[in-house]
Structure 1
Amino acid sequence: MSTLVEIRDLAVTFGSGRSTVQAVRNVSFEVAAGESFGLVGESGSGKSTVLRAICGLAPITSGAIHVNGNSLKTPRDPAFYRKVQMVFQDPYGSIHPRHTIDRVLSEPLAIHGFKDTEARIERALEEVGLSKGFRFRFPHQLSGGQRQRVAIARALILEPQILLLDEPTSALDASIQAEVLNLLDALRVEKGLTYVLVSHDLAVVSHMCERLMVMQHGARVEELTRRALQNRAATQVYTRQLLVASEGFKSQ
């Protein structure tokens, strides 16, 4: 498989002087086309900042990011957002509360000049398991799981190659989390998508990802395959501590 996303010695620093925070410290990894790659670690480990750096929401202090072999420009151009979309952690905050679902889904199509708006909106809703009846509802009329399905539909509506998933189920009830993860899994296979998934939950990463990188204090700790994770074959103490702390993680 060819490399689709390549991160080389990525560093992200916020602030200056005594208030300087090194959020990401010389992190490198590659993601193959069609792969699901996980970034895992505790809150503050820098994993979400890596995603934000990829999509242009966090400043890159040093290092390089390549997608399809091309170095990313700052600011990102419209073609980038046709190729790469992000699903945020909080479905309550990522969708405008006063916009109908129809408007939420039609705006990216208008921005990128798509004409077949009607068909694309209906297809996007269908792909995430929502009926046409949801089109003209407002976010407060939807459950948390339904809102996150809308957020996924909005990300998919431009037919991207890559989805950046920032804790996509952590704000949802446990009973709904598995449904959304299974949906994401099915969509990746069906559409040949590439995922970079951030989570603090090793059970989620084990379910979704073939490979993962463990992060701590902005730095890479180690990289593991799914099988190594399930066999508890971690080489670093911090990863073993995460395994112990991750309630509900089962070796299957």
Structure 2
Amino acid sequence: MIEIEALNVHFGSNHVVRDVSFRVEAGETFGLVGESGSGKSTVLRTIAGLNSDWSGRMTLDGKRLGQRRDRAFFKQVQMVFQDPYGSLHPRQTVDRILAEPLEVHGVPDAEARIARALEEVALPRVARFRYPHQLSGGQRQRVAIARALIAGPSVLLLDEPTSALDVSVQAEVLNLLADLRQIRQLTCILVSHNLAVIAHLCERLAVMQGGRIVEILSERELRVGQAKHSHTQDLVALSHELEK
């Protein structure tokens, strides 16, 4: 579904992503993990069409992606951001937030779709006409997920979707994403600095350091300690320390 080949991204003179290559099969959830500044979120934002200064080759479902994306791309590919409060319009109700992508993409039957979207992400009906500041952090992220999925994309890009949430809410949102991925047969790329989050959702993952992918391995290889690169081993050791 997604193929990235020799992706390079520059911010001015700063070379932030260096020769990154990987592929994601249809229906797979692929993880990008690494410490802050490793380039993982930049890769995701570039795939999403939010960075235009890049070189390399990217294809989606066999079609090559250019610097600019058309409306069909944004119907097929949607993104959930790290900060649910910052990604939702503060002066729009949940109803309006969910109606907007339906209008943009000309999707009919908005009333039924909005009601179903709220049900899918386990939000009560009363949340429909509330504003983001009237919702909890977990509820806001559920709205962001509902907005991303309401027009029926096949690819979901997830940028640290639980890192801004309380620990007690993180597992709920991760389980929701796992359920929606299976129900909708989504292809996903998940960015996180947390190996436990990656292992919970992803079949395979790429470890990034200094803008490069240093290792690609399966979730099983990660769990049984078969990581080969020293940086991956350091991340695993740090994860174990944090769990104590």
Q: TM tier, shorter chain?
A: over 0.9
2:216 counterpart of 1:229: no
Name the aligned partner's letter for residue 64 of structure 2: S
Cα distance between partner residues in 2 of 1:130 and 1:113? 24
Contact 1:39-1:198 at 8 Å conserved across structures:
yes
RMSD: 1.1
Contact 1:203-1:249 at 8 Å conserved across structures:
no
C-alpha deviation, 1:226, in angstroms: 0.5
2:2 counterpart of 1:9: no
2:204 alignment partner in structure 1: 211
Structure 1 unaligned regions, length at least 5: none
2:167 alignment partner in structure 1: 174
Name the aligned partner's letter for residue 71 of structure 2: P
Describe how 1:51-200 pairs up with structure 2 within 5 A: 51-200=44-193
Contact 1:41-1:214 at 8 Å conserved across structures:
yes
Name the aligned partner's letter for residue 195 of structure 2: L
C-alpha deviation, 1:247, in angstroms: 4.8
C-alpha deviation, 1:248, in angstroms: 6.8
TM-score for the superposition, normalised by structure 1: 0.94
TM-score for the superposition, normalised by structure 2: 0.97
Cα distance between partner residues in 1 of 2:242 and 2:68? 39
Cα distance between partner residues in 2 of 1:166 and 1:201? 12
Cα distance between partner residues in 1 of 2:77 and 2:180? 15
Name the aligned partner's letter for residue 187 of structure 2: T
C-alpha deviation, 1:249, in angstroms: 7.2
C-alpha deviation, 1:60, in angstroms: 4.1
Task: Among all aligned residue pairs of Structure 1 and Structure 2, give the percentage whose two residues are the same amino acid.
Answer: 61
Contact 1:40-1:201 at 8 Å conserved across structures:
yes
Name the aligned partner's letter for residue 191 of structure 1: R
C-alpha deviation, 1:191, in angstroms: 0.8
Contact 1:39-1:215 at 8 Å conserved across structures:
yes
SS in 1 for 2:100: helix
Contact 2:52-2:67 at 8 Å conserved across structures:
no
Which residue, 19, 22, 47 being the options, matches 2:15? 22
Cα distance between partner residues in 2 of 1:189 and 1:249? 30
* Deviations 1:175-200 (CA, angstroms, capped at 9, x unpaired): 10000000000001111001100000
Contact 1:40-1:213 at 8 Å conserved across structures:
yes
C-alpha deviation, 1:131, in angstroms: 2.0
Cα distance between partner residues in 2 of 1:134 and 1:163? 24
Cα distance between partner residues in 2 of 1:120 and 1:75? 29
SS in 2 for 1:39: strand
Give 4+ residue runs of structure 1 displaced > 3 Å after superposition.
247-250
Going from structure 1 to structure 2, the CA distance change for 1:248 and 1:191 (only over 3 Å counts) comes to farther
Structure 2 unaligned regions, length at least 5: none
Contact 2:118-2:146 at 8 Å conserved across structures:
yes
Contact 1:203-1:248 at 8 Å conserved across structures:
no
Residue correspondences, number = 243
Contact 1:243-1:249 at 8 Å conserved across structures:
no
